[in-house]
């Protein structure tokens, strides 16, 4: 029977693990992506889980998914549609129909496809595949629950504990399908359940049983081989965006010689930043879980005043609550990093879904003329660099910086080359010890070139001073309501932010020099836009791609880049906020737009279709 | 001369800014008491941070020659929490008013108290919004007539002591603006207390709520209408020191010593250090026929948040030698590409 098995060698493949939110699909997906990364594949992952902690078992609202995109060349997105779907119950199958390729392999647990299971998922017939119109898929149907229970008899586990291992059986099957050795998965399970050796062994047994089952029945489906790729030498680890953001802050604190302080309040999808930094007491990180969002940022402002690298992490609704305090940091000219992991809005919106709808809020959502630096991270691993940059600009320019990430890159992960910190730039706080002027120092005296005021840390003798939310006199730093002075301070605060353009990299354009279409994006859509450009080039189109990381101020060459191309399309997951912003900054700029606000990542195929239409119009 | 030998004077804590409160405002007196109390404590001005929210009293940091931060409405407690958690070595003061602290900032206030972060909170209570020109505040009595309650309020006030003790406060004191000596004593005691200390100062708003505390603060009634509590001392008061507080069943009662069979022995001795706050609550809530309790009503030691945060970091570091991000990452799940 062995000859029936076809081995397909592919450049890329998309696998989606899906089941009840209690079925352990996130763990299964994580282990599979990690072992694939170790194996030498490029990976990109996307967890898609319900907002409810435990929705009713077997129902459509309780389906939790984890998508992995593997490839032998650079992978930037978790992929549009799945080549392989693991569906632990009928609800998982139904929810994922739209995420499936027509000829996909679907792996199901027949024990969970009984009449009652089909009823819970609102099927009306006993043939879910026909009912869903899935006529082209190859089904691998295995009585997973039964086999797991039988296989684990020797461990003497109760029924519930034994059945918890069925996700590992499914993982074993997938490992067989992709010709993955099991050693790495076993190693990960041993670490994961280090304190429960019996559970670790039971999981390993289920994993092995699943693999052997696939191997023994030689299910007559294609197996896949994804070639491994030669990456840049070095040490790698798997990292998601929220972790990378946390590490970026730590790295910046190390470079600046400052203690890192996070003031935060739990909010999906940003909470993992609070979790990670709370663990990092070994590295001296202080975290305060505050009583609310406002206290989150206010404790951080207090810590900044006291001399820390201070940050606060939140999502859209929390950013709204922090607005007034950001204004305080603007007028007090204190360094502060505000991380907004964007999610679906408005209001509570869709907490676990991803959007780019907070851009205007970040840029302008405050009373008064209150400019801040705005940066956006483009990929999970780029969150590290973006958080490092945000901290550097905050500390060196004495300003709040808003770092925009989103649920997609915050939860998505990819392999990350562990950086050598000596290759990163210095961070030099503008301490009051740098002050050199014949005039006596005052709190709002500035560096003449950068317009940055000097940071006098409490405890420093001779520099006691008072800051506050009231307007201050340019010269004396005392409270002032003088009209001309206010104008001068408003202009100066704006100019200080504008000057930061001199300290950031220029905008890069990738793709064809003589492109007929320039794709413009910002933030977490980088991967999808990049792949869309690549696909269009493969289709013989001349396209280029410019992706913005620095949003306020914009890179100095922005106008020059944008006016070079005949056609420009700005693609974003909102109703055109960045396009409108660019129109205000670049005279005469009138781009085409591609806007989707579904809470889901872009679909590359759809981007290619739309961009091609624009190009050919 | 080393730092330890410097003897600070009240003027060392005064800034060069002109004090802009209305002439006759009770805040002037409290500011002077604060300068004196700080000199008495002797912490160098540059090792102090005075934080405030918004309101008349919250202008105070500008009049101090210390590090200071006049922040936003109600959020002073949260910002002070950040300062103190980051830098437990600083002496951190929070200056706030009844509106700032108990209305818009109520949440931050109770949590700062609950966490027992080592802040010296000075709550100026004039039972009115002065800066916005005369609206009732969360401490205004039911029926109080103001610009925003022309027919009288229909809500009950907070009693700051009740709120502070309800939030598990370990230090509560009360003072009146017209008694400089006792206010200075109480403020110094609040600074000596390790943990969150709340000192309510009853202040007069000469413009919008003149005389609100007159029934207890006027010279001719003060001795009969107030009792100044000191730890370890008998709870006696009155112009002739002939009145005392005794326990009558489960209630407090004011008696005249030598009348109705009461002797000095029956009068309670104030124990501010008692962990059980029942009696402190009863003392703080005295009103009506009873004198208003002033002085340090409760002063109990407890673990402070700021110290605990740093202690936990030290404990983790004692067990774990990793100090650099790169080393941490190399200890995780990694693989090498050669």
pLDDT tens digits, residue range B68-100?
999 999 999 999 999 999 999 999 999 999 999
Contact B85 A301 (CB under 8 A): no
State the average pLDDT over residues B296-322. Answer: 98
- Per CB-CB distance under 8 Å, the chain A contacts of B81 are 288, 290, 295, 298-299, 302
Q: Which has the closest alpha carbon to B35: B122, B97, B130? A: B122
CB B264 within 8 A of CB B234: yes
Is A225's pLDDT higher than 70? no
CB A251 within 8 A of CB A424: yes
Distance CA A16, CA A32 (A): 11
Cβ-based burial of B263 (10 A; exposed 0-12, middle 13-18, buried ≥19): exposed
Contact B317 A284 (CB under 8 A): yes
Angle value at C-alpha A33, between A381 and A269, nearest 5 degrees: 50
Is A381's pLDDT higher than 90? yes
- Per CB-CB distance under 8 Å, the chain A contacts of B56 are none
Angle value at C-alpha B98, between B94 and B102, nearest 5 degrees: 85
CB B182 within 8 A of CB B208: no
Q: Which has the closest alpha carbon to A349: A320, A374, A378, A322? A: A320
pLDDT at A2: 36
Is A164's pLDDT higher than 60? yes
Q: Which residue has the tokens 């609100």?
A: B212
Distance CA A468, CA A329 (A): 9
Cβ-based burial of B4 (10 A; exposed 0-12, middle 13-18, buried ≥19): exposed
- A246, A291, A416: best to mutate for the B interface, most B CBs within 10 A: A291
Share of chain B above pLDDT 70, in %: 99
Q: pLDDT per residue over A249-288, tens digit each?
A: 999 999 999 999 999 999 999 999 999 999 999 999 999 9
What's chain A's length in residues? 617
Label residue A221 by pLDDT band (50, 70, 90): low
State the average pLDDT over residues B98-114. Answer: 98
**Choice among A53-67, A90-104, A114-128 with the minimum mean pLDDT:** A53-67
Helices (H), A417-524: 483-498
Distance CA A303, CA A394 (A): 14
Q: pLDDT per residue over A59-77, tens digit each?
A: 888 898 999 998 887 788 8
Helix B180-192 to helix B26-41 angle (10° resolution) is 50
pLDDT at A227: 64
Contact B78 A460 (CB under 8 A): no
Q: How far is A248 from chain B (nearest CA, A)?
A: 9
**Cα–Cα distances in Å, from A221 out to A3, A167, A176?**
11, 20, 11
- Per CB-CB distance under 8 Å, the chain B contacts of A259 are 86
Across the interface, which of A235, A310, A459 has its CB nearest the CB of B336? A235
Q: pLDDT per residue over A285-341, tens digit each?
A: 999 999 999 999 999 999 999 999 999 999 999 999 999 999 999 999 999 999 999
Q: pLDDT per residue over B33-65, tens digit each?
A: 999 999 999 999 999 999 999 999 999 999 999
What's chain B's length in residues? 338
Token duo for residue A74: 């650079």
Token duo for residue B207: 């413009």
More confident site: A127 or A230: A127
Label residue A5 by pLDDT band (50, 70, 90): very low
State the average pLDDT over residues A436-441. Answer: 93
Is B2's pLDDT higher than 80? no
Contact A310 B82 (CB under 8 A): yes
CB A346 within 8 A of CB A563: no
- Closest chain A residue to B16, measured at CA: A478
More confident site: A178 or A460: A460
CB B139 within 8 A of CB B98: yes
Task: Give contacts of A 462-501 with B, CB under 8 A.
Answer: 462-470, 478-479
Q: pLDDT per residue over B189-216, tens digit each?
A: 999 999 999 999 999 999 999 999 999 9
Is A201's pLDDT higher than 60? yes
- Per CB-CB distance under 8 Å, the chain B contacts of A302 are 51, 69, 78-86
Q: pLDDT per residue over A13-38, tens digit each?
A: 899 999 987 888 989 998 998 888 88
Contact A295 B320 (CB under 8 A): no
- Is the ipTM beyond the 0.85 threshold? yes
Q: Does B43 touch chain A (CB under 8 A)?
A: no
DSSP secondary structure letter of residue B205: B
Token duo for residue A20: 């009840």
HSE at residue B2, side-chain half, CA atoms within 13 A, is 1
CB A89 within 8 A of CB A102: no
pLDDT at A1: 31
Mean pLDDT of chain B: 96
Q: Does A367 touch chain B (CB under 8 A)?
A: no
Helices (H), A407-510: 407-411, 483-498
Angle value at C-alpha B247, between B242 and B253, nearest 5 degrees: 55
Q: Write out the DSSP string of A545-579.
A: EEEESEEESPPTTHHHHHTSSS-EEEEESSSSHHH
Mean pLDDT of chain A: 93
Which residues, at least 6 apart from A233, have a Cβ–Cβ distance to it below 8 Å?
Answer: B336, B337, B338
State the average pLDDT over residues A569-595. Answer: 97
Is B274's pLDDT higher than 80? yes
Please tell me the pTM assigned to this model. Answer: 0.90
């Amino acid at each position: 029977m062995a000859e029936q098995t076809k081995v397909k060698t592919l450049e890329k493949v998309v696998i989606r693990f899906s089941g009840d939110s209690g079925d352990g699909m996130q763990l299964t997906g994580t282990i599979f992506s990690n072992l694939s990364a170790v194996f030498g594949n490029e990976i990109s992952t996307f967890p898609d889980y319900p907002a409810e902690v435990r929705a009713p078992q077997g129902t459509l609202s309780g389906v939790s998914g984890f998508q992995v995109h593997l490839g032998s060349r650079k992978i930037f997105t978790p992929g549009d549609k799945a080549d392989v779907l693991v569906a632990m119950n009928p609800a998982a199958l139904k929810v994922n129909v739209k995420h499936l390729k027509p000829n996909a392999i679907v792996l199901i647990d027949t024990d969970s496809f009984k009449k009652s299971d089909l009823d819970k998922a609102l099927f009306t017939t006993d043939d879910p595949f026909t009912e869903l119109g899935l006529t082209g898929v190859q089904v691998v149907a295995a009585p997973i629950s039964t086999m797991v229970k039988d296989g684990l008899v020797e461990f003497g586990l109760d029924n519930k504990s034994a059945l918890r291992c069925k996700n590992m059986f499914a993982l074993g099957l997938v490992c067989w399908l992709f010709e993955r050795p099991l050693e790495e998965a076993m190693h990960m399970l041993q670490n994961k359940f280090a304190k429960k050796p019996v559970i670790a062994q039971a999981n390993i047994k289920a994993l092995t049983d699943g693999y052997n089952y696939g191997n023994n029945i030689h299910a007559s489906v294609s197996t896949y081989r994804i070639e491994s790729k030669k990456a840049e030498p070095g040490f790698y680890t798997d990292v998601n965006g929220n972790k990378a953001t946390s590490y970026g802050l730590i790295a910046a604190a190390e470079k600046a010689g400052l203690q890192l302080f996070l003031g935060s309040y739990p909010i999906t999808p940003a909470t993992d930043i609070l979790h990670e930094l709370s663990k990092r007491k070994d590295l001296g990180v202080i975290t305060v879980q505050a009583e609310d969002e406002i206290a989150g940022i206010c404790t951080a402002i207090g810590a900044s005043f006291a001399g820390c690298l201070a940050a606060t992490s939140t999502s859209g609704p929390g950013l709204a609550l922090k607005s007034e305090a950001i204004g305080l940091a603007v007028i007090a000219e204190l360094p502060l990093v505000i991380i907004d992991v964007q999610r679906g809005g408005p209001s509570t919106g869709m907490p676990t879904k991803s959007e780019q709808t907070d851009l205007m809020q970040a840029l302008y959502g405050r009373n008064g003329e209150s400019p801040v630096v705005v940066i956006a991270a483009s990929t999970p691993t780029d969150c590290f660099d973006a958080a490092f940059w945000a901290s550097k600009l905050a500390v060196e320019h004495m300003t709040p910086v808003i770092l925009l990430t989103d649920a997609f890159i915050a939860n998505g992960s990819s392999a990350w080359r562990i950086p050598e910190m000596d290759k990163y730039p210095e961070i030099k706080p503008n301490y009051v010890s740098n002050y050199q002027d014949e005039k006596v120092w005052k709190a709002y005296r500035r560096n003449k070139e950068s317009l940055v005021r000097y940071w006098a840390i409490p405890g420093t003798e001779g520099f006691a001073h008072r800051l506050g939310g009231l307007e201050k006199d340019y010269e004396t730093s005392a409270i002032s309501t003088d009209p001309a002075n206010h104008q001068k301070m408003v202009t100066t605060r704006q100019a200080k932010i504008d000057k930061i353009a001199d300290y950031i990299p220029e905008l890069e354009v990738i793709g064809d020099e003589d492109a007929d279409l320039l794709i413009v994006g910002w933030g977490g859509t980088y991967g999808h836009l990049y792949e869309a450009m690549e696909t269009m080039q493969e289709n013989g189109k001349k396209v280029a791609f410019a992706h913005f990381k620095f949003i306020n101020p914009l890179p100095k060459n922005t106008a020059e880049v944008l006016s070079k191309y005949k056609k420009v399309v700005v693609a974003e997951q909102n109703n055109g906020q960045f396009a409108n912003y660019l129109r205000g900054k670049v005279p005469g700029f009138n781009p085409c737009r591609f806007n989707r606000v579904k809470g889901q990542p872009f679909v590359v195929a759809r981007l290619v279709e739309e961009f091609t239409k624009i190009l050919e119009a | 001369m080393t730092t330890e030998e410097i003897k600070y004077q009240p003027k060392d804590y005064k800034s060069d800014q002109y004090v802009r409160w209305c002439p006759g405002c009770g805040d002037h007196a409290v500011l002077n008491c604060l300068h004196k109390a700080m000199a008495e404590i002797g912490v160098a001005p540059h090792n102090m941070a005075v934080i405030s929210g918004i309101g008349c009293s919250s202008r105070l940091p500008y009049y101090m020659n210390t590090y200071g931060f006049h922040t936003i409405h109600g959020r002073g407690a949260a910002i002070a929490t950040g300062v103190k958690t980051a830098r437990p070595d600083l002496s951190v003061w929070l200056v706030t008013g009844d509106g700032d602290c108990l209305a818009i900032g109520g949440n931050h206030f109770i949590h700062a108290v609950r966490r027992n972060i080592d802040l010296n909170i000075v709550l100026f209570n004039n039972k009115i919004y002065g800066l916005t020109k005369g609206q009732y505040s969360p401490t205004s009595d039911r029926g109080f007539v103001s610009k925003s309650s022309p027919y009288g309020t229909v809500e009950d006030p907070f009693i700051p002591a009740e709120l502070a003790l309800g939030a598990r406060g370990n230090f509560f004191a009360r003072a009146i603006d017209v008694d400089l000596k006792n206010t200075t004593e109480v403020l110094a005691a609040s600074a000596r207390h390790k943990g969150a200390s709340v000192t309510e100062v009853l202040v007069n708003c000469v413009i919008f709520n003149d005389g609100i505390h007159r029934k207890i603060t006027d010279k001719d009634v003060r001795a009969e209408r107030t009792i100044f509590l000191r730890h370890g001392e008998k709870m006696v008061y009155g112009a002739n020191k002939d009145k005392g507080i005794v326990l009558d069943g489960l209630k407090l009662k004011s008696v005249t010593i030598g009348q109705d069979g009461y002797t000095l022995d029956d009068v309670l001795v104030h124990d501010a250090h008692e962990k059980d706050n029942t009696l402190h609550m009863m003392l703080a809530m005295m009103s009506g026929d009873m004198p208003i309790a002033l002085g340090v009503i409760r002063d109990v030691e407890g673990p402070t948040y700021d110290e605990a945060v740093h202690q936990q970091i030290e404990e983790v570091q004692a067990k774990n030698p990793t100090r650099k991000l790169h080393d941490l990452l190399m200890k995780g799940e990694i693989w090498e590409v050669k």
